[in-house]
Amino acid sequence: MFQNYFSITLLLSCWLFAQNDAFATNLRIAAVEWQDLRETGGGVHVQLELRWDNAWRNDRNHDAAWLFFKLTLPEGAGYRHLKVLNAGHEMAANLLPQGIAATLKPSADGAGLFVYPAAKHRGDVAWRLRIALDPAFTQDRELNLWHCRLEAFGVEMVQIPEGAFTLGDPDTTALRFGALYRSGGAGRPDGLFSITSEDQSVVVGEAAGQLCYRNPQPEYQGDLQGELPPAFPKGYRSFFIMKYELSQGEYAAFLNTLSDEQTQLRVNFGGRDYHDNRGTIYLAANRYQTEKQHRPCNYLSWNDACAFADWAGLRPMTELEFEKACRGTAAAVPNEYAWGTDSKTRLARHVNPDGDLAWSEGFEESQLTDANRDVFGASFYWVMDLSGGGVWERCVTIGSEKGRAFKGSHGDGRLGWYGDATNEDWAKGDPDGEGWGFRGGGFYYFNRSYSEFNPHSPVAYRRYGAWAGGNRSVAYGSRFTRTAD
């Protein structure tokens, strides 16, 4: 019988730094090992312990962990993405007294699997899981498995359920900031635009019934034409979205799996002002490290973001999905933020003097309810920070042909030779590409005057929704999605 155990890297979780670490969701993986038991009738499995604090599953809101696996090669030679099988997974043990059971749902393409509470729940979860791996990697003659390292990664996600919703803002003030609306003919505003089906024909333009927008600044306008193909993710179909923005710890972990050639283009801390403006990733002892594991990752280019999404088996989100994740199925409120009101008065989540996105003293995420979303900055589905406060959200735009060509393909975990995403339907190019834009607002500097986009932006405001300018910046980040199978 051949049995092998490899060292692992602790999961770099998707939670943001808070003034008190107990406030954070704190998703983590430990005790990871893999076993090849095929000679005795078993299979190839990875066993691990998965924990996160303050998980929740109720009638409307569902969080989950997206897990995926890499075999990291020695001496900077890169990695192999390990696929999971479509069956054979189990919760081996519940690690909390009277804890909730876990559901394990592998993706159809084998890129990873979702894990979430099997019934209604609010509170901590801790499970020992056994996950069945596709054994194909054990037959790769180029691999010396004794010198590789099995690594488990995970990201906390929120499921956005299937359903109709609206785009735009009932207040015409939003039109000055490029908000989407339904055209009544010749580009005249005629109310909100409804998304009622994933197969719905959506044509961008000024004719009656089309999806329209106006931007007073030509450089931000986009082409205002074209039809969204049936495969373009419109937000009606259920999808998962990262609960928090990509963190610096997660990005450093990503860099540590790449080959030397891939890191040359994907390291994001080459600018002279990076470490002066909340950037903390650095190279030491041939490993990428960070002083702030949970701080939102800034200074990301579009290609950086797409590379991470492809590597993680995720994909970019569209700007239609952005509005769905913010507003959900609720009726639109004039000039509303993602938390459902037009006010920031009660918001208790800000960038503190240390540069961390943190809760105000006395608040912790376990207190979040539908009634106090405006305190915690949570969306209709309890997705955090979609209306800014941390970094801008990059979204696939409807305002260019390259954006509209997006078919919603998922990353397969494998990057190109120089660390680029390989999905043909994803827009590419820095800094002069097109096909994406910015939504939600972002925090720049303490001495910068606040505006409609710094550091928070109402849901429908999209002055930069069709603008793909800019490469890496103090306020540019990302988060990613995955269509529900």
Band of the pLDDT at 471, cuts 50, 70, 90?
Answer: confident
Give phi and psi for 141, each to the nearest 5.
Answer: -70, -15
DSSP 315: B
User: In Å, what is the CA distance from 407 to each residue of 150, 174, 175, 446?
Assistant: 32, 28, 28, 39
CA distance 268 to 473: 10
Q: Counting Cβ atoms within 10 Å, is residue 290 exposed (0-12), middle (13-18) or buried (19+)?
A: buried
Average pLDDT over residues 428-451: 87
Q: Counting Cβ atoms within 10 Å, is residue 272 exposed (0-12), middle (13-18) or buried (19+)?
A: exposed
Nearest to 131 by CA among 72, 186, 90, 173: 90
Nearest to 163 by CA among 191, 195, 193, 192: 195
User: In Å, what is the CA distance from 118 to each residue of 46, 51, 103, 114, 393?
Assistant: 21, 15, 5, 12, 31
Q: Which residues have a Cβ under 8 Å from the Cβ of 130 and sit 6 or more positions away?
A: 45, 46, 47, 89, 90, 92
How high is the pLDDT of residue 34?
A: 86
User: pLDDT per residue over 160-200, tens digit each?
Assistant: 999 999 999 999 999 999 999 999 999 999 999 999 999 99
Average pLDDT over residues 127-140: 94
Nearest to 18 by CA among 363, 278, 440, 383: 363
The one-letter amino acid code at 172 reads T
For 160, the token pair is 């956005």
334 and 461 in contact (C-beta within 8 Å)?
no
Percent of the chain scored above 70 by pLDDT?
A: 95
CB-facing half-sphere around the CA of 423: CA atoms within 13 A: 26
User: pLDDT per residue over 292-338, tens digit each?
Assistant: 999 999 999 999 999 999 999 999 999 999 999 999 999 999 999 99
Is residue 445 pLDDT above 80, yes or no? yes
User: pLDDT per residue over 412-436, tens digit each?
Assistant: 999 999 999 999 999 998 767 899 9
